[in-house]
Amino acid sequence: MTAVTKVRGIGEALGRALNDNGFKTAEDLAKAKPAALVAVPGIGARRAPGLIAAAKQATSGAAPVAKTRPPKAPTRKAAQPRTSAAARKAEAEAKMASEKAEAEAKVAAEQAEAEAKARKKAKAKAKAEKAAKKKKEMEAAISKAKEKIKSKAKSKKDKKSKKEKETVSGKSKKDKKDKKAKKRAKK
């Protein structure tokens, strides 16, 4: 009689579980049906036929052959490595920090853009004020020049009209001077 733990693929824990379920020797295991083995904790439908084959080899005295398991069904998606709770937490914190940094950068960029617009607007306003002041100065200079021209024209006109009056009355400046000179001479 061969002990159950001598069968390839059965360790201490599985050996105790098989003993508890009535499989005390390798011979008992070799005669078992896969459905009966599935009732043992730790043995599934895929593992049961392999254990029966290994028990048959152990009882026949032949060299143990590699386990014969049916091929696995292809999986659709590769399994992702498991991460611990601390790693997931750190990853979430890093993601939140990067999102926060992106939001802060966006706010800073918007603020810088608003400041640039305000500077541009202030510069344009100052330029407009300077232009208005220059325009006012030029208008004042032009009106002053016009007044000067008008006053010169008026003074010329006055002189002309005075001359005309003198000639109309028959007295010219020369005549007045002569008259004054005669009066002096008489004295």
**pLDDT at residue 5, as a whole number:** 87
Summarize pLDDT for 63-74 with one digit per residue, the tens.
Answer: 554 445 555 666
**pLDDT at residue 152, as a whole number:** 81
**pLDDT at residue 166, as a whole number:** 61
Q: Which CATH class is domain 4-60?
A: mainly alpha
Question: 26 near 59, Cβ under 8 Å?
Answer: yes
pTM over 0.75: no
Q: How many CB atoms lie within 10 A of CB 28?
A: 17
| Alpha carbons 144 and 140: distance in angstroms, whole number | 6
- The residues of the chain scoring below 70 in pLDDT are 62-82, 162-176, 187
**pLDDT at residue 112, as a whole number:** 92
Question: 32 near 54, Cβ under 8 Å?
Answer: no
CB crowding 92-105: b at 16 or more within 10 Å, else e: eeeeeeeeeeeeee
